[in-house]
């Protein structure tokens, strides 16, 4: 199945050199009472902790700018960008969470939600890669589903952080899910959330296997590509990028508008025939064509033709319409090749969905994330089973 994928994580600049200690307290906004056991972490990293009985926390984190997430069951998630220059303790006030679903908008929740939608959710959230079999949602019962039949959209929410045991990559992931929506009409998936990665403990053999699997997951990933763009090394790092053009198939639209009438071709101009007359070969051939005609630039693109320096720590990526990206240093995973036999390599498309492109940090994070949609290999691979924290560094 071919679909757009938007997998959204939020994280500011990550600097793994210097560190500082952030102290603070998490309280309820209505009662001002401390919230013991609340989660506080830097999203998409392995830096996080929980508050003590007084609602207080101490968190050692790298210097820089990033999004600090605070969450507690029954309360709205807090996300704020912080700087490594903070020296005074901070107080985070969490508001009580409203009803998770608006029944007027999306209808009542499905009482047999996991039975009806659980496998679909796993395939689209965890993924279907080889590693997905070793990736388990430990508290799946917290998920609730609603299917808006009028719009043919599926919504999911979680009453608490999802706990995901990824024994393929060796991470325990706590995922604060803010949004999950699948549009069946458009084949369009978007999920938004804040993950915290905790490396699993294990013997030497397991650690070696996890390191190998993490390296393989990194190769050709969106993180790999964005880091290459930041360093202006997309060619050296094995990414072959071409401009991609998609135009509507006007002939198919014209033939389709005839309402299935059979065609008679005179020269290059098809003329409608009466349905009772013989032969509609031309009509069938045209209707079998794709809705869009795709073409590519004859030349490959270097990083400096689509990216530029915003400042000393941020790069900008901007392009029109589509980029077609092939990773050349490794073949596509076997499972993906079975699903898409025509794609022996990792071939993906990026579609610029907004204005102004995106800003990229050195760790591969880019924002605003909704400005770019992915298709092809990345729409299949960029799921939780193969997701890495932004503080991950591949082993040479």
Predicted TM-score of the model (pTM):
0.81
Give the span between the Cα atoms of 329 and 220, in whole angstroms. Answer: 8
**Residue-wise pLDDT tens digits, 229-281:** 999 999 999 999 999 998 888 888 887 877 655 545 545 555 555 443 334 67
Instruction: Name the stretches of the chain with pLDDT < 50.
Output: 1-17, 103-105, 263, 266, 274-279
CA distances to 34, 124, 164, 336, 379 from 168, in Å: 37, 17, 11, 17, 20
Identify the pLDDT of residue 61: 81
Contacts with 246 (C-beta within 8 Å, 6 or more apart), sequence order: 292, 293, 294, 321, 322
CA distances to 25, 69, 109, 322, 359 from 90, in Å: 6, 13, 38, 43, 28
Tokens, residue 242 = 């071409």
Give the span between the Cα atoms of 126 and 118, in whole angstroms. Answer: 11
Contacts with 393 (C-beta within 8 Å, 6 or more apart), sequence order: none
Give the span between the Cα atoms of 228 and 352, in whole angstroms. Answer: 18
Identify the pLDDT of residue 219: 97
**Using an 8 Å Cβ cutoff, are 144 and 167 in contact?**
no
**Using an 8 Å Cβ cutoff, are 135 and 384 in contact?**
yes
Identify the pLDDT of residue 65: 66
Identify the pLDDT of residue 361: 87
Give the span between the Cα atoms of 111 and 128, in whole angstroms. Answer: 26
Identify the pLDDT of residue 158: 94
- Phi/psi of residue 391, nearest 5 degrees: -90, 10
Neighbours of 270 (CB within 10 A): 18
Identify the pLDDT of residue 194: 93
Q: Determine the 3-state secondary structure of 72 from DSSP.
A: coil
**Using an 8 Å Cβ cutoff, are 391 and 198 in contact?**
no
**Residue-wise pLDDT tens digits, 61-78:** 876 667 899 999 989 999
């Amino acid at each position: 199945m071919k679909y757009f994928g938007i997998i959204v994580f939020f994280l500011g600049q990550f600097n793994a050199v210097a560190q500082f200690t952030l102290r603070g307290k998490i309280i309820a906004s209505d009662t001002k009472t401390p919230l013991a056991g609340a989660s506080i972490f830097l999203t998409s990293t392995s830096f996080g902790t929980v508050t003590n009985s007084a609602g207080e926390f101490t968190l050692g984190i790298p210097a820089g700018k990033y999004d600090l997430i605070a969450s507690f069951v029954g309360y709205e998630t807090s996300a704020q960008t912080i700087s490594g220059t903070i020296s005074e303790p901070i107080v985070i006030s969490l508001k009580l969470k409203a009803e998770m679903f608006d029944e007027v908008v999306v209808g009542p929740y499905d009482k047999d939600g996991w039975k009806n939608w659980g496998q679909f959710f796993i395939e689209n959230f965890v993924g279907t890669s080889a590693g997905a079999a070793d990736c388990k949602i430990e508290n799946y019962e917290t998920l609730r589903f609603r299917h808006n039949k009028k719009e043919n959209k599926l919504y999911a929410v979680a009453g608490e952080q999802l706990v995901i045991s990824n024994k393929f990559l060796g991470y325990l992931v706590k995922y604060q899910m803010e949004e999950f929506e699948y549009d069946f009409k458009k084949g369009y998936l978007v999920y938004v959330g804040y993950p915290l990665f905790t490396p699993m403990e294990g013997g030497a053999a397991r650690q070696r296997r996890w390191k190998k699997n993490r390296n393989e997951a990194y190769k050709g990933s969106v993180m790999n590509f964005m880091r290459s763009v930041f360093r202006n090394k997309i060619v050296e790092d094995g990414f072959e990028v071409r401009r991609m053009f998609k135009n509507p198939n006007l002939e198919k639209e014209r033939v389709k508008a005839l309402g299935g009438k059979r065609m008679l071709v005179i020269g290059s101009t098809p003329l409608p025939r009466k349905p009772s007359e013989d032969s509609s070969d031309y009509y069938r051939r045209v209707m079998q064509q794709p809705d869009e005609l795709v073409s590519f630039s004859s030349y490959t693109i270097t990083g400096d033709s689509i990216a530029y320096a915003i400042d000393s720590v941020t790069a900008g990526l901007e392009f029109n319409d589509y980029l077609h990206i092939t990773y050349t240093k490794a073949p596509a995973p076997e499972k993906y090749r079975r699903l898409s036999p025509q794609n022996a390599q990792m071939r993906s498309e990026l579609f610029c969905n907004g204005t102004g492109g995106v800003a990229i940090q050195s760790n591969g994070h880019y924002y605003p994330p909704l400005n770019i949609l992915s298709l092809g290999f990345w729409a299949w691979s960029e799921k939780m089973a193969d997701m890495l924290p932004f503080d991950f560094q591949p082993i040479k």
